[in-house]
């Protein structure tokens, strides 16, 4: 089976999973919640060399074991990959390569791994959600790697995986996909933070006036930056703190360990007295049994 066939199979399976699990296909996909809705027992624990494990019904499943040491973006992808094994009725599988990108396209992927990997992309990045996010990010068409990075933040996916999926959706041609895949996400993060030095795993989420009543899914250390240099934060809820990491003016807040659950962040942009509200969600920690994971 080649990757094109795997994606055709996975794309259909992902749409069916969205329907069966009552997933809103126009926005960020709550994959951990989807595991629970699909009646998979979930557990997360630190593991030295595993992304995750899927246990089939034949092996006392269905159940999923996730690596709690992974960053939330990689863990979300792993969770979707394991869900793919379940939805595609695969056998028990252990995903034991800590960097699947190193094997991407080299011919060593078994067929079940190909379809589960493709499923993860289609499940986390449904076309309606991609189009909705691109509409407010760049009026519908990405014309720079920064737009793809911002899309990845909206969907909770990796930059490289988002570049690849935009090509599958025919929203990015092969030439630009190859060029943009070579761009360092660290450089994009630094650009959005006006050249400031960021923690290695921190992401940058851009806030705009068009995001009214939308949701930001972030992690401790992430920055929320206003795209308007004259914009101001109207209030700072517990868990969000003004970021002192730059010497030049930058309207940015940092997510701290105190962020618990969902908090509403209010801000205004230059030339408007209207206050914009966005909901900020902390995605981790995902540790132990799924009953205690954040929603």
What mean pLDDT is predicted for residues 127-145?
93
Instruction: For residues 141 and 119, state if they share a domain.
Output: no
Q: How far apart are CA 295 and CA 283, in angstroms?
A: 8
Q: What is the pLDDT of residue 54?
A: 95
**Where residue 222 falls among pLDDT bands split at 50, 70, 90?**
very high
Q: Does the pLDDT at position 19 exceed 90?
A: yes
Lowest mean pLDDT of 8-17, 132-141, 238-247, name the range: 238-247
Longest dimension (CA), the chain: 62
Q: What is the pLDDT of residue 98?
A: 44
Instruction: For residues 138 and 117, state if they share a domain.
Output: no
Q: What is the pLDDT of residue 49?
A: 84
Cis before residue 35, ω within 30 degrees of 0? no
- List the domain range (segments joined by +) for residue 178: 127-183
- Of the three residues 159, 183, 207, the one that is the final residue of a domain is 183
3-class secondary structure, 172: coil
Higher pLDDT, 272 or 155: 155
Instruction: For residues 269 and 229, state if they share a domain.
Output: yes
Helix (H) or strand (E) holding 289: strand 288-289
3-class secondary structure, 30: coil
| Residues 6+ away with beta carbon under 8 Å from 178 | none
Instruction: For residues 176 and 256, state if they share a domain.
Output: no
Q: What is the pLDDT of residue 287?
A: 87
Q: What is the pLDDT of residue 100?
A: 52
Instruction: For residues 119 and 134, state if they share a domain.
Output: no
- What are the C-alpha distances in Å from 202 to residues 5, 216, 261? 35, 14, 19
Q: CA 104, 47, 200, 280 torsion: positive or negative?
A: positive
Lowest mean pLDDT of 146-155, 174-183, 216-225, 249-258, name the range: 249-258
What mean pLDDT is predicted for residues 191-197?
82
Q: What is the mean pLDDT of the chain?
A: 89
Instruction: For residues 67 and 19, state if they share a domain.
Output: yes
Give percent above pLDDT 90 in the chain: 63
Instruction: For residues 77 and 176, state if they share a domain.
Output: no
Q: Is residue 291 part of a domain?
A: no
Q: How far apart are CA 204 and CA 187, in angstroms?
A: 11
DSSP 114: H
Q: What is the pLDDT of residue 102?
A: 44
**Beta pairing class for 262-268 and 276-282:** antiparallel
Instruction: For residues 14 and 79, state if they share a domain.
Output: yes
What mean pLDDT is predicted for residues 198-216?
86
Q: Is residue 72 part of a domain?
A: yes
Instruction: For residues 164 and 258, state if they share a domain.
Output: no
Higher pLDDT, 208 or 152: 152
Q: What is the pLDDT of residue 271?
A: 65
Instruction: For residues 119 and 151, state if they share a domain.
Output: no
Q: Does the pLDDT at position 201 exceed 90?
A: no
Overall number of domains in the chain: 3
Q: How far apart are CA 135 and CA 163, in angstroms?
A: 17
- Of the three residues 160, 183, 206, the one that is the final residue of a domain is 183
Q: What is the pLDDT of residue 268?
A: 85
User: What burial letters (b/e) apply to 167-182, b meaning 16+ CB within 10 Å?
Assistant: bbbebbeeebbeebee
Instruction: For residues 21 and 79, state if they share a domain.
Output: yes
| Domain at 244, CATH number | 2.60.40
85-113 confidence digits (pLDDT tens): 999 999 999 887 644 544 545 556 788 99
pTM as predicted: 0.91
Instruction: For residues 228 and 155, state if they share a domain.
Output: no
Q: Is residue 255 part of a domain?
A: yes
């Amino acid at each position: 089976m080649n990757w094109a066939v795997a994606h055709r199979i996975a794309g259909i399976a992902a749409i069916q999973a969205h329907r069966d699990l009552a997933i809103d296909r126009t926005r960020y996909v709550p994959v951990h919640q989807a595991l629970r809705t699909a009646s998979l027992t979930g557990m997360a624990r630190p593991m030295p060399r595993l992304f995750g494990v899927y246990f089939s019904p034949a092996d006392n499943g269905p159940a999923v074991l996730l690596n709690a040491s992974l960053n939330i973006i990689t863990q979300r992808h792993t969770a979707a990959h394991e869900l793919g094994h379940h939805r595609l009725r695969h056998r028990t599988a252990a995903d034991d390569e800590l960097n699947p990108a190193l094997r991407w396209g080299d011919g060593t992927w078994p067929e079940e791994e190909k379809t589960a990997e493709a499923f993860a992309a289609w499940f986390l990045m449904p076309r309606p959600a991609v189009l909705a996010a691109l509409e407010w990010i760049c009026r519908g068409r990405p014309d720079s790697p920064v737009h793809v990075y911002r899309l990845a933040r909206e969907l909770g996916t990796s930059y490289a995986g988002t570049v690849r999926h935009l090509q599958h959706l025919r929203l990015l041609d092969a030439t630009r996909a190859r060029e943009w895949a070579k761009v360092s996400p660290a450089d994009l993060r630094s650009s959005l933070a006006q050249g400031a030095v960021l923690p290695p795993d921190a992401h940058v989420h851009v806030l705009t006036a068009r995001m009214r009543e939308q949701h930001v899914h972030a992690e401790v250390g992430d920055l929320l930056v206003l795209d308007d240099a004259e914009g101001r934060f109207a209030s700072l809820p517990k868990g969000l703190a003004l970021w002192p990491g730059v010497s030049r003016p930058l309207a940015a807040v940092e997510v701290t360990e105190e962020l618990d659950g969902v908090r509403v962040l209010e801000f205004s942009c230059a030339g408007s007295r209207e206050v914009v509200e966005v909901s900020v969600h902390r995605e981790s920690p995902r540790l132990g049994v799924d009953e205690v994971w954040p929603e």
